[in-house]
Structure 1
Amino acid sequence: MAAVQIRRFRDDDAEAVKEIFTLGMSEHVPSSFLHLLKQPPTQMLLMCVFCALMTSSRSFLLPVLAVTLLLAGARQLVAYIFNSYIDASLRMDLNDIGGVYMRARDSCFWVAEVDGRVVGTAACLPNQDAPACLELKRMSVRRSHRGAGIATALCRTVADFTRDRGYAAVVLFTSVVQTDAQRLYERLGYEKTREFVVPELAAKITNFTLFEYRLDLQKGGKSE
């Protein structure tokens, strides 16, 4: 693969950034649906519906059809959650990257470029709940360019920026279904500090858990 250049965001990167974000988030729909199916309440509901209809109708086809419709509805619910988040993000910070990330001293947005094409993104800004920390956000790499160390390079860029600005740590949030991201952060020295269910009703129904990670820069982090 050609050399990767990590550089600051320019206005003409906006559409590529939005595309990478949208594609990256959409990839989590299947794994999130599988996560929902593994939840005991979901399995109990499907079993109860199947058994109740099987008993009352004395037909095998009706309960199978009902369970199939419930599964289709659950898949749509998961897709709705992600699409709502994508739409909200595209309307908010990703609609004004320059204004949100590039004007203040302690925030920034970077892109990873290969052969003139933007293939990855990362950003940071002050964390509202931890004034001594910057928060890593919008980390994403095109599927076609994963496994080449681009995400690692972006993470290190954020860590270096945070250290240069005099902050004590980098914090970030990732979800229960983003297992590759979790492994990456842990390999780079991030420690899981908290986990919680997203407060929105749809997320509570699906038991969609977020993890908070922290990289203490005074410890240095791992280089590999």
Structure 2
Amino acid sequence: MVSYMSDSGIKVRPCERRDIQAALKIFRDGCIDNSQDIFRVFLHRQTARLYISIIAFVAWVFFRSFAISGSVIITTVAVMYVVSYIKSAAYAKRRMMTDLRDIKRNYMDSRKAEMFIAEDDGEVVGTATVSAMKVDSTALELQTLSVSRLYRRSGIGTMLVAAAIKYGKSNRYEKIMSHASESQMAAQRLLEKSGFKIKSRKLTSFFPFFRLYNKVYCYRLRESE
């Protein structure tokens, strides 16, 4: 059983039945917060600005009104924010309808998966899940990692990743895989700081004219021993 406590009093341990609802809330909140990061990436893309400019120009050609053109820009940006939120919420719901729907069966009672929680004085403040990959029996996947808003940038993410690594070593896996999109800068820094190496990059569609880069990471357990 992987369980330890930091000098600050934060304890990382396997999830128990009493932790499930709090862990799900932290995961759901993390997904929603990521929608804001996706939106910021969108606003910084030159292609996004170009499309918004074209839409605004078309509105000006039709109506010959800068007020209407400006309103179109605001509406377009607002729609993109709403879409970011809806897609992030849909991802959270999809995960909560699959493996996270029955945490006890899929993680707590499983020999090939584990959910870790971080707690501070009895309060759940972070969660992470790992499970054996179906396509590679020698590999684990770090599937989710979420930290409560008030506890971010306090080392809890590092502790949860360390717990996943320790779990992988104790169960004799050869590697741990994970991924992070370009909107998840904090997750990228955390994985790289923890010793994960970038294995590949891929593009995933988000809007019809907006795609996100996803980095696939690998941590070699055997080489690190």
Letter in 2 for 1:153: M
Within-5 A mapping of 1:54-203: 54-198=60-204, 202=206
Residue deviations 1:16-64 (CA, integer Å, cap 9, x gap): 0111011111111122112122333322221112222323432211111
Whole-Å separation in 2 of the counterparts to 1:114 and 1:63: 51
**Contact 1:197–1:204 under 8 Å retained in 2:** no
Q: Which runs of 4+ in 1 moved over 3 A?
A: 201-205
* Secondary structure in structure 1 of the residue aligned to 2:56: helix
Deviation of the 1:204 alpha carbon: 5.7
> Identity of aligned pairs, percent?
23
**Contact 2:16–2:108 under 8 Å retained in 1:** no
Whole-Å separation in 2 of the counterparts to 1:161 and 1:79: 33
Bigger mean CA offset, 83-92 vs 122-131: 122-131
Letter in 1 for 2:49: Q
Whole-Å separation in 1 of the counterparts to 2:103 and 2:148: 19
Deviation of the 1:6 alpha carbon: 1.3
Of residues 32, 45, 51, the one that matches 2:38 is 32
Q: Is 1:217 aligned to 2:221, yes or no?
A: yes
Whole-Å separation in 2 of the counterparts to 1:64 and 1:4: 49
* Structure 1 residues not aligned, in runs of 5+: none
Deviation of the 1:203 alpha carbon: 5.1
Letter in 2 for 1:122: A
Whole-Å separation in 2 of the counterparts to 1:135 and 1:49: 42
Whole-Å separation in 1 of the counterparts to 2:101 and 2:173: 27
**Contact 2:35–2:84 under 8 Å retained in 1:** yes
Residue deviations 1:69-112 (CA, integer Å, cap 9, x gap): 11111111111110110111122222211111122322111111
* Secondary structure in structure 1 of the residue aligned to 2:201: strand
Letter in 2 for 1:25: C
Deviation of the 1:136 alpha carbon: 0.9
What root-mean-square deviation, in Å, do the aligned CA atoms of Structure 1 and Structure 2 show?
A: 1.8
Whole-Å separation in 1 of the counterparts to 2:130 and 2:63: 57
Which residue matches 2:211? 207
* Secondary structure in structure 1 of the residue aligned to 2:176: strand
Whole-Å separation in 2 of the counterparts to 1:204 and 1:193: 27
Q: Specify whether residues 66 and 147 from structure 1 end up closer, same or farther in structure 2 by C-alpha distance, changes over 3 A only.
A: closer
Whole-Å separation in 2 of the counterparts to 1:203 and 1:49: 15
Task: Give the aligned length.
Answer: 219
Whole-Å separation in 2 of the counterparts to 1:113 and 1:53: 53
Which residue matches 2:3? none
What is the TM-score when the length of structure 2 is the normalising length? 0.90
Whole-Å separation in 2 of the counterparts to 1:181 and 1:218: 23
Deviation of the 1:150 alpha carbon: 1.6
Deviation of the 1:127 alpha carbon: 1.5
Whole-Å separation in 1 of the counterparts to 2:163 and 2:37: 29
Within-5 A mapping of 1:15-26: 15-26=21-32
Whole-Å separation in 2 of the counterparts to 1:170 and 1:220: 12
